[in-house]
Amino acid sequence: MHTSDNNLDLAPVSLDQFDRNSGNLLERLLFNNRLAIIVICVLVTIGLGWQASQLRLNANYEKTIPTSHPYIANFLEHRDELRGLGNAVRIAVENPKGSLYDATYMDTLRQISDEVFLLPGVDRAGMKSLWTPNVRWIGVTEEGLEGGPVIPDGYDGSADSLAQLEANVARSGEIGQLVALDGKATIIYVPLLSQLPDGTTLDYEVLSKQLEDIRAKYEAAGQVSIHVTGFAKIMGDLIHGLYEVLTFFVISILIVTTIVYLYTRCVISTKLVVTSSLIAVVWQLGLISALGYNLDPYSMLVPFLVFAIGMSHGAQKMNGIMQDIGRGAHKYVAARYTFRRLFMAGLTALLADAVGFAVLLVIDIRVIQELAIAASLGVGVLIFTNLILLPILLSYTGVSAKAAKRSLRKEKSEARAPLWNFLDLFTRRGPAMVAIGLAVVIAGAGYMGSKQLKIGDLDPGAPELRQDSAYNRDVAFMTEHFGASSDVFAVMVETAGNGGCANYEALRRVDALEWQLRQLPGVVSTNSLAMLNRQVLTGLNEGNPKWFELIKNQSMLNFVTASAPRGLYNDACDLLTLYVYLADHKADTLTAVVNKVEEFAAANNTADIQFKLAAGSAGIEAATNIVVKDAWRDMLFMVYGAVVLLCFITFRSWRAVIVAILPLMLTSVLAEALMVMLGMGVKVATLPVIALGVGIGVDYALYILSVTLSRMEQGESLSDAYQHALAFTGKVVLMTGLTLAAGVSTWVFSIIKFQADMGVLLAFMFLWNMVGAMVLLPALGHFLLQGKVRKPGAGTPQVVVNNPAAAAPVVATRKAAAAQ
Which residues contribute to the site for other proteins (CB under 8 A)?
139-142, 167, 170, 175, 508-509, 512, 515-516, 518-519, 521, 534, 541-553, 556, 603-604, 606-607
The residue (of 421 and 553) whose beta carbon lies closer to other proteins is: 553
The residue (of 510 and 684) whose beta carbon lies closer to other proteins is: 510
User: Which three-class secondary structure state does DSSP give residue 644?
Assistant: helix
The residue (of 485 and 706) whose beta carbon lies closer to other proteins is: 485
Q: If we measure between CA atoms, which residue out of 148, 742, 734, 111 comes closest to residue 420?
A: 734
Phi-psi region of 202 (alpha: psi -120 to 50; beta: other; left: phi over 0): beta
The residue (of 93 and 560) whose beta carbon lies closer to other proteins is: 560
CB of 131 to other proteins, least distance (A): 24
Across 43-59, b (16+ Cβ under 10 Å) vs e yields ebbeebeebbeebebbb
The residue (of 219 and 542) whose beta carbon lies closer to other proteins is: 542
Q: Give the span between the Cα atoms of 295 and 300, in whole angstroms.
A: 6
CB of 189 to other proteins, least distance (A): 21
Q: Give the span between the Cα atoms of 719 and 364, in whole angstroms.
A: 46
CB of 477 to other proteins, least distance (A): 21
CB of 521 to other proteins, least distance (A): 7
CB of 74 to other proteins, least distance (A): 21
CB of 552 to other proteins, least distance (A): 5
The residue (of 585 and 596) whose beta carbon lies closer to other proteins is: 596
The residue (of 520 and 665) whose beta carbon lies closer to other proteins is: 520
Count other Cβ atoms within 10 Å, centred on residue 784: 17
Report how many helices (DSSP H) and strands (DSSP E) the chain contains, helices first. Answer: 27, 9
Helices 366-384 and 686-713, axial angle in degrees (round to 10): 40
| 100 touches 184 (CB < 8 A) | yes
Full strand arrangement of the beta sheet holding 523-527 = 523-527, 575-582, 487-495, 609-615
CB of 556 to other proteins, least distance (A): 8
Which H/E stretch holds residue 78? helix 70-78
CB of 532 to other proteins, least distance (A): 14
The residue (of 114 and 146) whose beta carbon lies closer to other proteins is: 146
- List of E strands, 604-669: 609-615
CA-based Rg of the chain, rounded to a whole angstrom?
A: 33
Which distant-in-sequence residues (6+ apart) come within 8 Å of 93 by Cβ?
A: 105, 108, 109, 112, 185, 186, 187, 188, 218, 224, 225, 226
| 510 touches 575 (CB < 8 A) | no
Q: Give the span between the Cα atoms of 470 and 193, in whole angstroms.
A: 25
Helices 804-819 and 401-414, axial angle in degrees (round to 10): 80
The residue (of 459 and 584) whose beta carbon lies closer to other proteins is: 584
User: Which three-class secondary structure state does DSSP give residue 597?
Assistant: helix
CB of 537 to other proteins, least distance (A): 10
The residue (of 140 and 784) whose beta carbon lies closer to other proteins is: 140
Cα 152 from chain centroid (whole Å): 51
CB of 601 to other proteins, least distance (A): 11
